[in-house]
Structure 1
């Protein structure tokens, strides 16, 4: 098992609410030595896909051995499993709805456990009572597993009070729910169908296209065409927000390696009418190059360096 580092990273969609404070209190009640890093509590509500994007692009900044607790759980109280997943360098805890999947695959999934909620609660009560001197009244609610299952499981593991085997039953990794933050369909030599995987507080729209992963050199392209159900927009390709004038749209590779659309000092999601999990079509328009006779012509090389295959080919 990964050696616990006594660090917990929290990712939730709880926002500015008592729920995050209660989770932090439970963790500290089990072990005051645990350091808590609030990675993000503003994940868009009810979106495991957006949560998966945040977890996948932040976990590796934590010290190795950290426990990442991700609670974006619209299915709380249903039959979905509560998971603890050991990877090469970390432990991930959260609901079985895909929110953990991209991260655990990225770090190398080793073992997966379905948490036994009663065992987590029982051991957590014991540890909080030994720390506080009194036995806390504790029951498992149907609507707040962040407090009753995920935070205490994370604290017990991070503090070294319990192993994964003591808190859960090992299951086959193939059984867990999958989610992809970089699934695209190739529609032609330079066209793709993609998904909106994240919208940040500024309204910047991150797409499932990861140019480097697809072998795309964005410096070869000057514009993109973004097509939605409502409209088609031609957008300048840049490297940062300032490459567009205030109020103008710009496309660029964001700090997590995704193709992103923004409005300089504005809200791209509102401008374009996009929401999480919206499907869009993207066409990349290449820079023109000089031909031998001095005329201008578009580059004819396939975007991925190979001939285009059938429409709708899936790329991972």
Structure 2
């Protein structure tokens, strides 16, 4: 069974998702249309990128992911297709690519040839291309390779003088604070040195990253790398957002030091 996923900032009262489902299932009624989330905050493409990066890898090869966040028409806006890790991603050139692939863009990245003027590009452009892919059409039939002049957003961590500065990108439904500091970025700069994590204005720093939430006592503060490899600050059986004030946009500071110099 082929799968098309949808991630959007539409709400359940809207008809938009039903239109996408109708277009796709009219082409193949056996397609499974999965709504990954319709709870993305309006226009928050960084939130959409983070949510999708946490789950795309659990879908089978050939899955088509349609990103319907901040896709409204703009001057010189483009719509793109990426083929990556045997899956397809359809999205607007609104900075999503730089957020989803912060280190390196996919080799197979295309700009869609036909981009009619429309107030509903997710249906009139992206869903139609999803149908083309379901019908086994090759990207070269309706898209051109591109890697130039993509819009970029940069809520990326920084490193200077043995300090990593990150930020909270998302609070999940438990109030955990998911940051933009990846495990690879952390290990690259920390290496075998000691470190202390200072979340926001918190006076209780974290000196060890745990493997599981339950490695601290109930109500204890902890840090883990989640399944997507992002540093996450949590309170066991509590909310880091509410109890520590770690809301989206809060800074996270990681200080690195040698034992001999501490």
Give TM class, smaller chain.
Answer: 0.7 to 0.9
Tell me the SS of whatever aligns to 1:50.
helix
Could you tell me the TM-score, scaled by structure 1's length?
Answer: 0.68
Aligned pairs (5 A) from 1:244-283 = 244-283=216-255
CA contact (8 A) 1:224 1:236 kept: yes
Larger radius of gyration, structure 1 or 2? 1
Q: 5+ unaligned residues in a row in structure 1: which ranges? A: 119-139, 287-297, 303-316
CA contact (8 A) 2:9 2:41 kept: yes
Q: CA deviation at 1:239?
A: 2.7
CA contact (8 A) 1:30 1:155 kept: yes
Is residue 2:129 matched to residue 1:153? yes
* 210-219 vs 200-209, greater mean Cα deviation: 210-219
CA contact (8 A) 1:9 1:62 kept: no
CA contact (8 A) 2:47 2:170 kept: yes
Aligned pairs (5 A) from 1:86-101 = 86-87=83-84, 89-101=86-98
Q: Cα distance 1:254–1:167, how it changes in 2: closer, same or farther (>3 A)?
A: same
Aligned pairs (5 A) from 1:85-164 = 85-87=82-84, 89-103=86-100, 108-118=106-116, 141-142=118-119, 144-160=120-136, 162-164=137-139
1:58 to 46, 55, 69: 55
The residue aligned with 1:70 is 67
Q: 5+ unaligned residues in a row in structure 2: which ranges? A: none
The residue aligned with 1:201 is 173
RMSD across aligned positions (CA): 3.2
Q: CA deviation at 1:270?
A: 2.8
Tell me the SS of whatever aligns to 2:36.
strand
Q: CA deviation at 1:96?
A: 0.8
Aligned pairs (5 A) from 1:165-204 = 165-168=140-143, 170=144, 172-179=146-153, 183-189=156-162, 191-204=163-176
1: CA distance, partners of 2:61 / 2:205: 43
Q: Cα distance 1:53–1:179, how it changes in 2: closer, same or farther (>3 A)?
A: farther
Tell me the SS of whatever aligns to 2:67.
strand
2:2 to 6, 13, 24: 6
Aligned pairs (5 A) from 1:26-45 = 26-45=23-42
Paired residues, what number? 257
Tell me the SS of whatever aligns to 1:14.
coil
